[in-house]
Structure 1
Amino acid sequence: MGWIDISRPLNDRISTWPEDTPYSYRRTATKKESGSVNIGEITMSVHTGTHIDAPFHFDNEGKRVNELDINVYIGRTKVVDCRGFEAIGAAAFEGIDLENVERVLIKTDAFPDSRIFPEEIPYLKPEVAEFFKEKNIRLVGVDVPSVDPMDSETLDAHHALFSSGVHILENADLREVESGLYDLSALPLALEEADGSPVRAVLKSVYD
């Protein structure tokens, strides 16, 4: 098995947070016009599709994207099946071996259609951040738009995770991914001053 793309395709059909900047692509020059190439531009929120959050997203004193350690987003990862949970805490990981794993991806299958933005999602309980810290987890990823409830204004899980040294990946597509060990690459763009970044997230089973 090769690499598995767990990124949500960016197109004009992908849903976004209400009042956020929708994705669009347009050609600013055609090959006919330029004589040699097509040239395009995109506009979008950095929180569209599969993306990472930087602490500056919710903390004015937090690190920006270009200040984050890129090594966090590459390496051994455990995909954990948490389907059926409304709120995900340490109990969801009972019996799950997280030894020698620094990254966790949480599969909920709660956001199957990228065109329809969910009103409710499974979310992370803030106290799970301390559990991840004890297990030396550096990155947690979810297959929904946020680690917090959709109507949260305090973003308690965001704050708790980063306070515990846990980085955040959101809106991955894990529908075709089984539980188990993988290698992950989900590198953010080198965006100076940004509060988040889209990523091309891919997995490869370590058993291949």
Structure 2
Amino acid sequence: MTTNHPTGSWVDLSVPVFPGMPVYPGDPEVEFGPALRVAEDGVNVLRLHLGSQSGTHVDAPYHLDDTWPTLEGLPLDRFAGPAVVADVRGLEPRAAITAELLAAALPRLRAGVVLVLATGWSAYWETDHYLAHPWLTPEAAQAVVDAGVRTVAVDALSVDRTPDPADHAAEFSLAAHRVLCGAGAVIAENLTNLGPVIAADAAARPVHLSLFPLRLTAADGAPARVVARIG
């Protein structure tokens, strides 16, 4: 969804949250239904059941290590900033996103920037192929961290490879998560509708991203409404 305004356009980059929606394999299923109804109770209230990593969400470092910061231990500026897009669309399923593939974006990175990894994989949302997304190598993640970036967003299920459920020998790794989160970075996953952001970045138009999560205490992450403002 895009909303035009005299000062720019607002673009919603979040997937809708609904019962039975896709989740990372093994995560809690999303369920909700009426807790109160206007007819009986005078108001409508939903009862929700979902995991902290449901839908478009933000990971805090605590997601990987009990000793690393939770959401509430992070500065607010980790959840907003000017965006730089690394357009890596066109990769094969489960292809590695290497530092070489980020070469065009790396010189533009600096502290305070939100790096947006545009894989194009949001086109497969709600299909089994969504699990076969490209993934960030730990070396590429280190190059991002070395550039001063502490916020990374991706239009895929994870910055790391998601194992094929049919391949029982597939290796499970969160190496990119560990590099990013180990540096105190936050990771936003399951973005969608990146087309206007990619086009604006390519045209050198300013793009500002906001990805504020729910204020859950002692949390590893939380659903977020990720929004871009294109100036």
Taking structure 1 as the reference length, what is the TM-score of the superposition? 0.90
Partner of residue 150, structure 1: 162
- Name which of 136, 139, 144 aligns with 1:127: 139
How far 1:149 moved relative to its partner?
Answer: 0.6
How far 1:14 moved relative to its partner?
Answer: 1.9
| Gap change, CA 1:163 and 1:20, over 3 Å in 2 | closer
Structure 2 counterpart SS, 1:127:
helix
Equivalent positions of 1:19-168 (< 5 A) are: 19-34=26-41, 36-85=42-91, 86-96=95-105, 97-99=107-109, 102-117=113-128, 118-151=130-163, 153-168=172-187
The Cα offsets for residues 159-204 of structure 1, whole Å up to 9 and x where unpaired, read as 1112234321111114433421410111011111211100000001
Partner of residue 212, structure 2: 187
Alignment partner of 1:18 is 2:37 = no
Q: Which amino acid aligns with 2:118?
A: K
Q: Which moved more, 1:1-10 or 1:100-109?
A: 100-109
The answer to whether the Cα contact below 8 Å between 2:109 and 2:115 also exists between their aligned partners in 1 is no
The Cα offsets for residues 128-176 of structure 1, whole Å up to 9 and x where unpaired, read as 1221123221211111111111025331111111223432111111443
Q: Which moved more, 1:64-73 or 1:114-123?
A: 114-123
| Cα distance in 2, alignment partners of residues 87 and 137 from structure 1 | 20
How far 1:3 moved relative to its partner?
Answer: 0.7
Aligned CA-pair RMSD: 1.8
| Cα distance in 2, alignment partners of residues 80 and 155 from structure 1 | 21
How far 1:22 moved relative to its partner?
Answer: 1.5
The answer to whether the Cα contact below 8 Å between 1:79 and 1:182 also exists between their aligned partners in 2 is no
| Gap change, CA 1:95 and 1:17, over 3 Å in 2 | closer
| Cα distance in 2, alignment partners of residues 113 and 82 from structure 1 | 16
| Cα distance in 2, alignment partners of residues 160 and 20 from structure 1 | 22
| Cα distance in 2, alignment partners of residues 5 and 58 from structure 1 | 28
| Gap change, CA 1:176 and 1:12, over 3 Å in 2 | farther
Q: Which runs of 5+ in 1 are unaligned?
A: none
| Cα distance in 2, alignment partners of residues 167 and 140 from structure 1 | 6
Q: Which moved more, 1:98-107 or 1:83-92?
A: 98-107
Structure 1 counterpart SS, 2:195:
coil
| Gap change, CA 1:134 and 1:56, over 3 Å in 2 | closer
User: Comparing both structures, which one devotes a greater share of its residues to helix?
Assistant: 2
| Gap change, CA 1:28 and 1:62, over 3 Å in 2 | same
Alignment partner of 1:169 is 2:181 = no
The answer to whether the Cα contact below 8 Å between 1:123 and 1:146 also exists between their aligned partners in 2 is yes
Taking structure 2 as the reference length, what is the TM-score of the superposition? 0.81
Q: How many residues of Structure 1 are paired with residues of Structure 2 in the alignment?
A: 205
How far 1:59 moved relative to its partner?
Answer: 1.0
Q: Percent identity?
A: 28
